[in-house]
Structure 1
Amino acid sequence: MIDGLIFDKDGTLFDFRVSWGNWAGTFLRRIASDEAHARRLGQAIGYDLEDGSFAPDSPVIAATAADIAAALLPHLPGLTHAELTDRIDASAGMAPMSEAVPLRPLLEGLRSKGLRLGLATNDSEIPARQHLATHGITDCFDFIAGYDSGHGPKPGPGMCLAFARETGLDPARVAMVGDSRHDLEAGRAAGMRTIAVLTGVAKREDLAPHADVVLTDIGAIPGWLAGL
């Protein structure tokens, strides 16, 4: 029995390649001195400026804004880590997100079944809330946390456990939903079920060993729940 679901954001609620591929190219060109510099910045974070693709180990996929800033900082003399992190957060909050599936009908349907819903992202909390608000779904969540909300980043279990604690749910009756190993490892560490989705960069074979089930996207969750 599942009483709650806690979702990752990027690559789970929102299609990663479409949403962050567009953002990365725009952001890097904005902070670079020229196109060659932008390409070097892209290489530093595992992003190909020419085709808009990410390497599997890119920090943009599952790391924090502070981690992305740390990777870029050696190539941006004159900026401090804090300044660059702030720039990333400000830009990320304005990034146009592409819904992996129509989100409001799905989330309302899950809530109508009595499920409690949470969000645990390695994005910062402020831009995460901006993305939810832009898509009109903030009210669908009982809990929203970023890596900077005081519970620690994934793959640590802090955000997952905080969701269970704040909603009064048994972690064993909650499922963590995500597109990366960080998400699934966080859920497992919290004693939760784990659902992998393929709307990020990771492939099925990379996620399957860490998940109770691998779904094409979050739109398949109601069917999976019905089959439990």
Structure 2
Amino acid sequence: FSISAIAAVQKFAGSPIIQQTIEVVSSLSIIVTYIWFMTLSQRFEKRDAVTTLLKDAPGRSAGVVIALVVVSVLTVMSAWWLTKTGDVLAEHPIEYLGRPLGKTAIGICFLAIATSLPEIATSLTAVRINNLDMALGNVFGSNMFNMLVVPVIKVSAWCTGDSLCTYGPNFSANLNILAGLFAVMMMAIALAGIAYRTQRRVLRLGVDSVVLLLVYVAGMAILLTQQ
């Protein structure tokens, strides 16, 4: 919630000096929060279990390392291609809407889905080997790391001489704040589902899962129809 609140304050702050100050403070707060949480999570980790897993883990072969490097290179190339494709789609008119979707909508909807496919595959694989902790940790950890990218984006904007991305001419604050609020809402629902377990099912899904799907569909519908 604090991230969305900071973005909202930045939008409505009148003075450029105040906006720049909030920009720096928000970036530093994201970095500090990430480091603090990673340190805290390691303290709660069971060291004996980790030690056992490390002892039983097989040695890494050269083939695995080479495959990892190749897949990493392909991932970077795919990210570049997706960005270029999304830039073209953002300017292409959509008959249903009567206008182009816009770069923000493309990033929020289509690029976000495409770049999340590796996380989906990893989490499903973890579920198949009955490692639910890893599956959920992958989802929440990806969200945490994605937020850590925000300061990197801002620094990149500074280095290119562009105006600060939070109130520059190429930034849609309203849509990004709205998307952030939907993300926070869905995160709260997921955490509530983990903390409060119920036996009720809807189409073999938990109540929290159904609510998550409804909120996501509603959020995408609102974001795609906003100018």
Indicate the TM-score class for this superposition, using the shorter chain for normalisation.
Answer: under 0.3
TM-score using structure 2 length: 0.26
- Rg larger in structure: 2
Identify which of structures 1 and 2 has the higher relative contact order when contacts are C-alpha pairs closer than 8 Å and 6+ apart.
Answer: 1
Higher strand proportion: 1
Higher helix proportion: 2
